[in-house]
Amino acid sequence: MVLVSTSPITQVILCLMQIPAFTIVLCLFVNSAYGQISNSVSADASPKRQLTLPEKPYRYANQVLPRHVKQVADFFDNTPESNPITDEGATLGRVLFYDPRLSVNGSTSCSSCHSQRTAFTDARRFSKGFEGEAVDRNSMSLVNLRYYRPGKFFWDERADSLEDQVLMPIENTIEMGHELTALVSQLQSDPIYPPLFHEAFGTSEVTKEKLSRALAQFIRSMVSVNSRFDQGRAEVSSVLDPFPNFSEQENYGKQQFFGRARCSECHLPETEGKSRAARQSAFFQLEGPLVNGIDSDSDQVDGGVGAFTSKESEWGRFKSTSLRNVVLTAPYMHDGRFRTLDQVIEHYNWSVKPHRNLDRRLEDFAANGLALPEVEKVALAAFLGTLTDSTFLTDPKFSDPFTHAE
């Protein structure tokens, strides 16, 4: 029995039965584009899925930012005028992000390698693709990608925009293995998607461009700015002041971050018209790819940006992720070589290697080491823990909208 309305916000009921090899019963109920969508597939070993969305979409657009973030957000924002975040577009992006049907065999979704509980990265050193084969680099955290000013993505920055980046894993022969033309046709014939595309873009037609725009909107909406650091920053006039909600050790660690350890020189880039003393304290990410001395100067190691561009001056450079939620995003570096944050700190303390393209701010580290005493290293790690945003990690608007049953 098929009852289909031309309106995307009225009820759709679809039942399909196939015999004799086995029986599939597929029932879809769409009370509205933002009501409960039940999509249950019953077969010998197939799971049942139910898609549940709120009656009114979550707020993804125009998110409220704390003052110390808001005052620099526009400077770093890479959102193109052609793809502003909308609540409906990000809702569609959320469904797509968690749908394993984006992979050719229905086994792998974007969330398979980018889990909310680990700040949208993967706890494994190398993620596994749709056939179980490992990828060649660690999965990057997706937190605050909207505010990476250069607007290029992947460790080697081979994607010129987030809209480009979100489609590449789908067609990658290891990651998801799908073909975009076939995927578009598949989504168009799936009763779940035309109503959602209609709400997001005003038409139920599924296209590659709309798929890209929706995924990019959802990922740009992943803004994490409610950590204990942010709460403390709101109570003081300067980021260098002691935070009243920090322990003595955490404040001492903050002092190291902005002082002797010199972390802020790279991880808190300056904004136009701001002095070093007024350095922004919002996003904790590099202003661009760099060489951080984890490898010696050799053509036998991963060349990062240089391997993509074939420019010798860029050999060994890698994009980095935000330090927000960093205690949850292990393992670290492009190849996941460091299992703990302590190992990362120790690298900068004593193990920075000389390199033809080593960032100039690390030249002293390679020559003499940072030589932080143990008490300062421990305090620095404690401070980095204050960048964890527990509300972001549990926010339902970023969670899996599908309920999976055995």
Q: Rounded distance, CA 400 to CA 110, Å?
A: 11
**pLDDT exceeding 70 applies to what percent of the chain?**
85
Closest CA to 211 of 187, 242, 244: 187
DSSP 52: E
DSSP string of 287-340, one letter each residue = SS-BB-SSS-S-TTS--BHHHHH--GGGTTBB----STTGGGS-SBSTT--B-S
Q: By three-state DSSP, how is residue 185 classified?
A: helix
End-to-end CA distance of the chain: 26
Instruction: Calculate the average pLDDT of the chain.
Output: 88
> Does 231 have pLDDT greater than 80?
yes
- What residue ranges define each of the domains in the chain, with the CATH number in brackets? 1-56 (no CATH), 59-68+75-223 (1.10.760.10), 228-390 (1.10.760.10)
Q: By three-state DSSP, how is residue 50 classified?
A: strand
Prior bond of 331 cis (ω within 30°): yes
What angle, rounded to 10 degrees, do the helices at 180-188 and 208-220 form? 90
Q: How much is the pLDDT for 17?
A: 32
Least confident of 14-23, 93-102, 224-233, 247-256: 14-23
Rounded average pLDDT over 72-93: 96
Q: Rounded distance, CA 123 to CA 142, Å?
A: 14
> Does 14 have pLDDT greater than 60?
no
- Please check whether residue 15 is in contact with residue 28, taking contact to mean a CB–CB distance below 8 angstroms: no
List Cα–Cα distances, 380 to 33, 294, 342, 372, in angstroms: 47, 20, 10, 10
- pLDDT per residue over 21-41, tens digit each? 323 333 343 444 555 554 433
- Global confidence as pTM: 0.88
Rounded average pLDDT over 96-122: 97
Round the CA-based radius of gyration of the chain to a whole number and report it: 23
Q: How much is the pLDDT for 50?
A: 87
Six token digits for residue 38: 């039940």
Beta-carbon contacts of 273 under 8 Å, excluding residues fewer than 6 positions away, are none
Six token digits for residue 229: 């650091």
Q: By three-state DSSP, how is residue 26 classified?
A: strand
- pLDDT per residue over 370-397, tens digit each? 999 999 999 999 999 999 999 999 999 9
- pLDDT per residue over 283-326, tens digit each? 999 989 999 999 988 888 999 999 999 999 999 999 999 999 99
Q: How much is the pLDDT for 162?
A: 98
Rounded average pLDDT over 4-9: 35
Q: How much is the pLDDT for 35?
A: 56
Six token digits for residue 338: 């460091």
pLDDT band at 281 (very low <50, low <70, confident <90, very high): confident
Six token digits for residue 362: 């690390």
List Cα–Cα distances, 62 to 50, 130, 200, 308, 393, in angstroms: 29, 35, 16, 35, 19
Q: How much is the pLDDT for 16?
A: 31
> Does 109 have pLDDT greater than 90?
yes
> Does 97 have pLDDT greater than 60?
yes
List Cα–Cα distances, 304 to 136, 165, 292, 315, 318, in angstroms: 12, 16, 12, 6, 5
Closest CA to 99 of 200, 29, 24, 170: 170
Q: Which ranges of 15-167 does DSSP label H, i.e. alpha helix?
A: 67-76, 87-98, 162-165
Six token digits for residue 391: 């509300």
Q: How much is the pLDDT for 38?
A: 45
Rounded average pLDDT over 12-16: 33
Q: Rounded distance, CA 198 to CA 6, Å?
A: 11
Closest CA to 88 of 108, 66, 50, 61: 61
Strands (E), 72-181: none
